Amino acid sequence: MGEVLITSALDGLLIDVIYGLAAMGLTLIFGVMDVINLAHGPLIAVGMFGVYLLFTFLGLNPFVALLIMAVIGLLLGFFIYFVAVNRVIDAPPLSSLLSTFSVNMMIIGVGTALLTTSSYNVEYSLGSFEFGFFRVPGARLMAALAALAVTGLLYLFMYRTRPGKYIRAVADNRSSAELMGIPSTRILALAFGIGVMLAVVAGGLIATILPINILAGGSFELKSFVIVVLGGLGNPLGALLGGLILGLIEGLVPVVMKTTWVPVIEYVLFILILLVRPQGLLGVKK
Amino acid sequence: MKRIRLPGLWITLILVIGVGVIPAINGSASLRESMFTILMSVALASSLNIILGYTGYVSFGHIVFFGVGGYLGFYAISQLGWNILPAMLVGGLSAGILAFLLGATVLRLRGAYFALATIGINEAMRALVINIPLLGGPVGMEMHFSEYKKYGGPMQALWMVYWGVLIVTVVTIIVSYYVKKSKFGLGLMAIREDEDAAEVMGVVAPRAKTWAYVLSAIFPGIIGVLFFFKNGNIEPGDAFRLQFSIELIVMVMLGGAGTVLGPVIGSGLYQQLRKALLTSPIFKNIQLAVAGFLLLLIILFIPAGAVGWLRAKSVKLRRVLE
């Protein structure tokens, strides 16, 4: 019994890291430009299918495909920023919510037409690793490690490079950053691009371990919202913590009650946190 | 000639009623069905407009009131054998009470936080209903066909529901108009422009927002009962469909948020467009993408919506259109 519990907890934990990565993209964009990217879910799906198509038709290793998709995600993010976000960046929140939602509709519309909503699988297995008495599927471990690596790189980028510092400066105070000579539009586009790239990479990682379909991004988007609010909107490190909390809920609640109660608890917690601690569990009051 | 009083209200009402009675004149069932969808959207979008357009609070989960009202009303009809009128009352009241309870808490949040919370409420409610065996759990409830016999058979029942939805729509528009013209509405619009300034000027913002939310919730509650009565069954996925909630925002934006006529025009246009795309051989498969593209164009270039744009164009129109 104990072994089963540990194994499933560990299993869950590995996926949570990927949830956290997806949520990080959402929270980065919000933190820098106060835009809630409602195209987040479909962009996760873009990552899933990018990896699927590169793997199935070009026979690329999924992790090589992931690198290609990361670059495509970044470029896609620039494109979406300049087409849909840049014009409404200073408008009331409704405008950017709707413009990113329109991107959502376009991606889902084209995706459904091309791929239908049926389920696909990346036939990729790495066997499984044994640690003492419990086993972990290899693909899951690799995906989680990759997600941690991306998180680490993001931190190095944000805190050790000049563009990363620019992003933080723009997030802090855009007009002051402009006075210091930072090209804010380009930096906003870069931040949006990185946010999209994180969503796409998370999607690609999910594709290596779970069956995918074009609408699957939607449920990860909702999870991302919960995670982001738990950790504090605009706080990437909080996203990782939020992912772990969500994973704990998903792992432990089914032990005491029916699985169908998990989303109820998640969403109630989500609303409560918004009401009581809108800055998130880690955040400090502004 | 004497000047017509309240032109903005009459133009809207004549438009809705005029189009609304067409199915009765030619007696076509298919026309009635598509008009039902349009009228339902008009009522839902107009009620959303009270909180979204007048008060400036972006609710992504407006459909939760439609779902909750629909569920309780449907339960009363299908399990307790109630007549539809008291069931509609239950639907409207329950949605209103829910909005009142939520209003006291969630409406404290502003901007994006409020929008996120409304998504959470809708999803929480959907997940909760799935766990209530009394309401049918994940599969929902069905209504026995004989239920329609009380109203003189299915044909009569469907027409009755149609007139019901037309009446609710007309009432929604009248309420929407008088809210906009009242001192209460002025307070709401002051909140939309600057909540803190409005409070300084003597608007009791929490109270005003809560009542606006309650008003905007009652109508979806009633419409939900009518819709699911016509449908004959109800399930969590249909009752709390987030997608529909967002489509309602699109309708309000398309016509013009904060205007009385806007949501009417917007819903009509959106539903017609959707139907046209769905039935066209070229766009059938990518209708969602085309709709998304149009939405993007509107937001980027005509953010005030059709009616807002017309009002900005000419002073004469501004007097007539509300």
Structural domain boundaries in chain A: 2-276
Mutate: best of B119, B195, B249, B250, partner A, most A CBs <10 A: B119
The answer to whether A271 contacts B56, with C-beta atoms less than 8 Å apart, is no
Which tops the pLDDT comparison, B220 or A217? Answer: B220
Confidence of residue B1 (pLDDT cuts 50, 70, 90): very low
The answer to whether A93 contacts B113, with C-beta atoms less than 8 Å apart, is no
Q: How far apart are CA A25 and CA A166, in angstroms?
A: 17
Helix (H, G, I), strand (E, B) or coil at B77: helix
Is A2-276 CATH 1.10.10?
Answer: no
Out of A93, A110, A271, closest to residue B58 by CB: A93
Lowest mean pLDDT among A30-44, A98-112, B154-168, B272-286: B272-286
Kindly list the domain boundaries of chain B, sorted by start residue: 7-320
Q: Tell me which chain B residues have a C-beta less than 8 angstroms from the C-beta of A275.
A: 105-106, 108-109, 117
Most confident of the following: A5-14, A115-124, A187-196? A187-196
Give the number of beta-carbon pairs within 8 Å between A and B: 125
Q: Tell me which chain B residues have a C-beta less than 8 angstroms from the C-beta of A223.
A: none
Mean pLDDT in residue range A149-175: 91
- What residue type is A5 in one-letter code? L
pLDDT at A70 over 90: yes
Q: How far apart are CA B128 and CA B117, in angstroms?
A: 16
What confidence tens digit (pLDDT) does each residue in B24-77 have?
888 888 889 889 999 999 999 999 999 999 999 989 889 999 999 999 999 999
pLDDT at A264 over 50: yes
Is B154 in contact with B145 (CB distance < 8 Å)? yes
Mean per-residue pLDDT over chain A, rounded: 86
Lowest mean pLDDT among A57-71, A121-135, B52-66, B277-291: A121-135
Query: What is the residue-wise DSSP string for B135-193?
Result: GTGGG-EE--GGGGGGGTHHHHHHHHHHHHHHHHHHHHHHHHHHHHHSHHHHHHHHHHH
Mean pLDDT in residue range B87-94: 96
Q: In sequence order, what are the residues at sequence separation of 6 or more whose Cβ sits closer than 8 angstroms to the Cβ of residue B202?
A: none
Assigned architecture for domain B7-320: Orthogonal Bundle (1.10)
What confidence tens digit (pLDDT) does each residue in A197-235 have?
999 999 999 998 888 988 888 888 888 888 888 888 777
Q: How far apart are CA A261 and CA A244, in angstroms?
A: 18
The answer to whether A98 contacts B295, with C-beta atoms less than 8 Å apart, is yes
| pLDDT value at residue B184 | 95
| pLDDT value at residue B91 | 96
Q: How far apart are CA B301 and CA A94, in angstroms?
A: 14
- What residue type is B128 in one-letter code? L
Mean pLDDT in residue range A44-73: 93
What confidence tens digit (pLDDT) does each residue in A126-140 have?
777 776 666 777 888
The phi, psi pair for B194, rounded to 5°, reads: -165, 105
Distance from the A195 Cα atom to the nearest Cα atom in chain B, whole angstroms: 18
Is A254 in contact with A263 (CB distance < 8 Å)? no
Is A278 in contact with A234 (CB distance < 8 Å)? no
| pLDDT value at residue B26 | 83
* Prediction pTM value: 0.87
Which tops the pLDDT comparison, B287 or B70? Answer: B70
Is B112 in contact with A34 (CB distance < 8 Å)? yes
Which tops the pLDDT comparison, A245 or B188? Answer: B188
Which tops the pLDDT comparison, B248 or A122? Answer: B248
The answer to whether A274 contacts B115, with C-beta atoms less than 8 Å apart, is no
Mean per-residue pLDDT over chain B, rounded: 90
Mutate: best of A108, A262, A264, partner B, most B CBs <10 A: A264
Query: What is the residue-wise DSSP string for chain A?
Result: -HHHHHHHHHHHHHHHHHHHHHHHHHHHHHHHH----TTHHHHHHHHHHHHHHHHHHH---HHHHHHHHHHHHHHHHHHHIIIIIGGGTTS-HHHHHHHHHHHHHHHHHHHHHHH-S--B-------EEEETTEEEEHHHHHHHHHHHHHHHHHHHHHHHSHHHHHHHHHHH-HHHHHHTT--HHHHHHHHHHHHHHHHHHHHHHHHHHS-B-TTHHHHHHHHHHHHHHHH-TT-HHHHHHHHHHHHHHHHHHHHHS-TTHHHHHHHHHHHHHHHH-TTTTT----
Is B249 in contact with B303 (CB distance < 8 Å)? no
Out of B116, B117, B299, closest to residue A99 by CB: B299
Residue among B212, B260, B276 nearest B8 (CA): B260
Count of CB atoms situated within 10 Å of the CB of A122: 24
Helix (H, G, I), strand (E, B) or coil at B1: coil
What confidence tens digit (pLDDT) does each residue in A87-127 have?
988 887 778 888 998 999 899 989 988 888 888 888 777 77
Out of B115, B124, B296, closest to residue A84 by CB: B296
The phi, psi pair for B60, rounded to 5°, reads: -90, -10
Q: Tell me which chain B residues have a C-beta less than 8 angstroms from the C-beta of A278.
A: 109, 113
Instruction: Enter the tokens of residue A73.
Output: 């995600």
| pLDDT value at residue A285 | 52
Enumerate the β-bridge partners of residue A131. Answer: A134
Is B140 in contact with B234 (CB distance < 8 Å)? yes
| pLDDT value at residue B211 | 95
Out of B113, B124, B290, closest to residue A264 by CB: B124
* DSSP H stretches of helix in chain B: 7-20, 22-26, 29-49, 63-78, 84-106, 111-130, 153-181, 183-193, 195-200, 205-231, 236-239, 242-255, 261-279, 287-301, 305-313, 315-320
